[in-house]
Structure 1
């Protein structure tokens, strides 16, 4: 247990140090802010001393001298103004730094999320990643603009007050600092009990976000199948646990923080009263008592602030752990071979693949070989491994058993630049951005409007685009909701064709479209296959009848291979599928 606690403390310390390291580029600005804080604290500390002098030397002795009174009043006001100005500017500097750090953390988290292996997105709910990018990074901002700023203010104020106390009456100052070890013990106890609770709070908050994300994305299905109550209960369950552990943190705050610190202040006052009894009559000035009571009240607040900020600090550390876990996780692996794919030849040897368990292979002993600029079709029942093979050809997953060679080079050795420029895929459900048609096709690439218009003509979308109010600059709705499914597919093909890859994959691109759009796509494919190796995954076998080679997959294995005519003559798997689809 001791080793476990020690490892936990080391983990917390490492996370906190790493979070604080984000402030390093702004060290000069932080140093200036600290000087301002110190100046403001010194100004605040001197003010009670002026009032003490006024009490003991003017009021108590009945010596009212106008010049001295005006000087004291003027000095008090000036010190207060200096304190306000310095606090304003240091707060401005530190808050700006906090926002800059938040920006840097979010960029790092987003970069890491984008570079994650696709297998991560297969396993992890999207809501949890969104929670890391939004909620967790916001808590790290709180660490800087709330915890650290408050802690710096509090520590500097405590330090200046203690120096003033020891200068005025060291005996009373000693009594004051006796309670400091007790405060440290309270902080340690609070930290010990709060960290596990706060981890659960963050976990259930992530679950709530994920549930909302699922509900909103699948709203049509949810309402169609009357699943509102089930989703409501699911969110209610996560919310109940989140509330339960949030209440535990509030109970900790209520018991361990202000009541105990108020008790410690009372003990200090008791100590002073006992000390007063030892002083001879008339030797103890009332002004000094005022100063110390004033300082004690000023000490109490920063001590409470430091302790109450423990809650935010722990949440920030927990958020930091979650964020750094994402940042440090393995990224999508690519090779270092930057040479472009020039031909588009494919050679697959003894390929086996499984997503999670080696015992459950999705692809089994796949061996295929295609020359460039050929039309290849992958067909088979759902779950036969067609899309998995396409994903491997895209380089989305690392191959550990067997090999895929592109132009004679192992696909694992090819760089990201090489793969993305040479191989492209049209998804079954293309993702459309809420942006212009032009941007949806170019996706920020340096492609001219003239080229886009030519591609739109190739994919049979030119007339439709011309009918739109602003042509290629017309804004599409979120997820392309002002386009038909067929138009989305054609747009997705146009997106790929603006840079003409050497290998093009269409994953069920004709599965959900009407016959008119299918004809448009077939016309487009005839033009494409003259320039590129074309691989089509299809349920509609009418799309692939002109393929040079049709690969029939069943349960991860190749069961047939040949042209449409050759496979129809065999009257086997393909023949049965074609017969079923076309009812011949």
Structure 2
């Protein structure tokens, strides 16, 4: 984040969006020019009437009526053109915001997962919504106001110089002083507005995380602690806003009003010294009128600096994310023909300091069945994420279908290897859309996939069938059913490698058996990698890797690992004992019921 009062590179880039449609911008500026000419002509006509008719005590009816009608017409023209140009600038602003939002969201979708490891959801949403709204305000109010007032003041100064260059010089002295105030205000307000925007993002992040984790907060009775944290953020945000308001109250209108008052006194004093013979009464009236009209645009320009500062801070954050490193894929567009997977001395670190995986060697043949087991934090899910291409490996080599993973095109990678996660996300949409996820999949294939995972009976029970909306009150799936739905998503496209990351953790034994049968059938044309705590689900695996602290400590099939009587054997014995105790409990409950 830059510490400069005005980041010229950011401002230039921000203005560049409006220049994409030069024709629309030129029309808006032309409308502004016409409106300014019409607006400035009013005092000039009154000056002409005072000096040429009132001063001579002449009131020709046709001339007076003509001037009155012309004055009314000019004011009407000015009002109409101001209205039309405001619509034009709003149209430009909305178009820019749409472009920036689409660019930002497109970049978000293509960010590597590592970008989200330390990015709270609330802050990201704040960038897409609040920060882009600040850009809209920049175009609607700042750009529109600056162009309107600069053109208006320029036209006014030209007319004033035509009336009296002496009085014009007095007014011109006001402009450098105002510019100095604006520059000083900009420098003073830069850090204050940046802090205010950052605190607003923190507030959004706090609300988002609190709502998402509401069950945990209430279970742990942390309502008061989170309320205090939120109150602290809002208090600091309020304090920063008050600081900005104090700065605005001191440096905006009071200073500008003082400077304009000095200019007005100077005009009156000059008129008193020179007399009406050098400067007519009408000219003095016109200058006083113009001075009043100059003051408001100057105050308006200075007041827009706050919006300018907010827009620059918001743009720094948005452009920083847009320019961030994107997920990179290779150029190999040849579809995967087989589900072969190889890891050679693979190592990985999230932060570049602490090794999460080290020296991983795996060789999974086509139609193979690989299982990964180990304690929490052993690196199982991280290894699966590397196989999916979510993160680039730190060192070593990872191949799919005999080709380096980083050489494969995005579509090839995503069609060739798929994952069913432990806590799958369910869209607030129909069953059909939740399964196909925008892909061109027929209802027949969807029903076949639901049938394979044992979810078709449940969906047929819904009155709307595949058109039933999930997560919106019409139907809610259990944790196990969500995992079955996620598995159906994968099965409709038949990948070459399927990774199950604790995908059977929330499924009962009957459904698990049904899925095991489906997976055995699917192995006819795909390889399977299973991460599991329940060892009963991987007894048929061709090879089981036991991970501990990021390294493979044991490997072999189920019988071989039991014969080694190592960590895997201990895990198996504990689970067998647990299942035995569970059976005894169920038997006791049944006897009591009888």
- Greater than 6 Å deviation, 4+ residue runs: none
- Stretch deviating more after TM superposition (81-90 or 255-264): 81-90
What is the distance in 2 between the residues matched to 1:106 and 1:541? Answer: 47
**Correspondent of 1:183 among 178, 191, 207:** 178
In structure 1, stretches of 5+ residues that fail to align are none
Distance 2:408 2:294 in 1: 63
- Residues of 2 paired with 1:310 and 1:383: CA distance? 50
Please tell me whether the aligned partners of residues 434 and 479 of structure 1 are also in contact (alpha carbons under 8 angstroms).
no
| TM-score in terms of structure 1 length | 0.96
Counterpart residue number, 1:441: 435
Aligned to 1:160: 155
Contact 1:51 1:287 in 2 (8 A): yes
Shift of 1:138: 0.5
> CA deviation digits over 1:269-318, x for unaligned, max 9?
12112212332455543222211111011000110011110110011011
Q: Is 1:137 paired with 2:132?
A: yes
TM-aligned CA deviation for residue 479 of structure 1: 11
Q: 1:319 & 1:192 partners in 2: Cα distance?
A: 17
The residue that corresponds to 1:221 in the other structure is 216
User: CA offsets, 1:36-68, max 9 Å, x none?
Assistant: 111111111111122223333444433222211
| TM-score relative to the length of structure 2 | 0.94
Match of 2:412 among 406, 409, 418: 418
Corresponding residue of 1:44: 39
Closer, same or farther: CA 199–181 of 1 in aligned 2, 3 Å: same
Corresponding position: 1:380 with 2:374: yes
**Cα–Cα, structure 1 residues 551 and 433, in superposed 2: closer, same or farther, change >3 Å?**
same
Contact 1:432 1:480 in 2 (8 A): no
Once residues 281 and 44 of structure 1 are traced to their aligned partners in structure 2, the CA distance between those partners, rounded to angstroms, is 26
Query: What's the CA shift for 1:480?
Result: 10
Superposed, 1:114-153 pairs within 5 Å as 114-153=109-148
User: Which secondary structure state, in structure 2, belongs to the residue aligned with residue 536 of structure 1?
Assistant: strand
Shift of 1:523: 2.5
Of 203, 206, 213 in structure 2, the residue corresponding to residue 208 of structure 1 is 203
The question of whether the paired residues in 2 share the 8 Å contact of 1:102 and 1:137 is answered with: yes
Q: Which residue of 2 aligns with 1:340?
A: 335
* Matched-pair contact (CA < 8 Å) for 1:433–1:479: no
Tell me what 1:533 maps to. Answer: 527
Q: Does structure 2 retain, via aligned residues, the 8 Å contact 1:431–1:479?
A: no
Indicate the larger mover: 57-66 or 289-298. 57-66
* Of 295, 298, 306, the match for 2:293: 298
Gaps of 5+ in 2: 581-594
Contact 2:4 2:190 in 1 (8 A): no
Residue correspondence of structure 1 range 115-514 to structure 2 within 5 A: 115-280=110-275, 283-358=278-353, 360-477=354-471, 482-514=476-508
Q: Is residue 40 of structure 2 the alignment partner of residue 8 of structure 1?
A: no
Picking from 542, 550, 554, the partner of 1:548 is 542
| CA-to-aligned-CA distance 1:218-247 (integer Å, 9 cap, x gap) | 111111211111111111111121111111
| Structure 1 partner of 2:105 | 110
Whole-Å separation in 2 of the counterparts to 1:268 and 1:331: 56
- Structure 2 distance, partners of 1:429, 1:481, is 18
Deviation at 1:478, TM superposition (A): 5.1
Conserved 8 A contact 2:469-2:475: no
More deviation, 470-479/454-463: 470-479
- CA displacement 1:470-523 (0-9 Å, x = unmatched): 111111115997001111111100101111000000000112232233223222
Query: Cα deviation per residue 1:164-199 (whole Å; 9 max; x = unaligned)?
Result: 110011100000001211111111111111111111
1:435–1:475: 8 Å Cα contact kept in structure 2? yes
Q: Which moved more, 1:261-270 or 1:97-106?
A: 261-270
Aligned length: 578
Q: Mean Cα displacement is larger for which, 411-420 or 280-289? A: 280-289
Q: How far apart are the structure 1 equivalents of 2:63 and 2:403?
A: 91
The answer as to whether partners of 2:10 and 2:315 remain within 8 angstroms in 1 is yes
- Tell me, yes or no, if the aligned pair for 2:346 and 2:357 is still in contact at 8 Å: yes
Q: 1:466 to 1:406 in 2, by over 3 A?
A: same
Contact 1:363 1:556 in 2 (8 A): yes
CA distance in 2, matches of 1:127, 1:381: 31
What is the RMSD computed on CA atoms of the aligned residues?
1.7
Q: 2:589 maps to which residue? A: none
Change (3 A) 1:342 1:281: closer
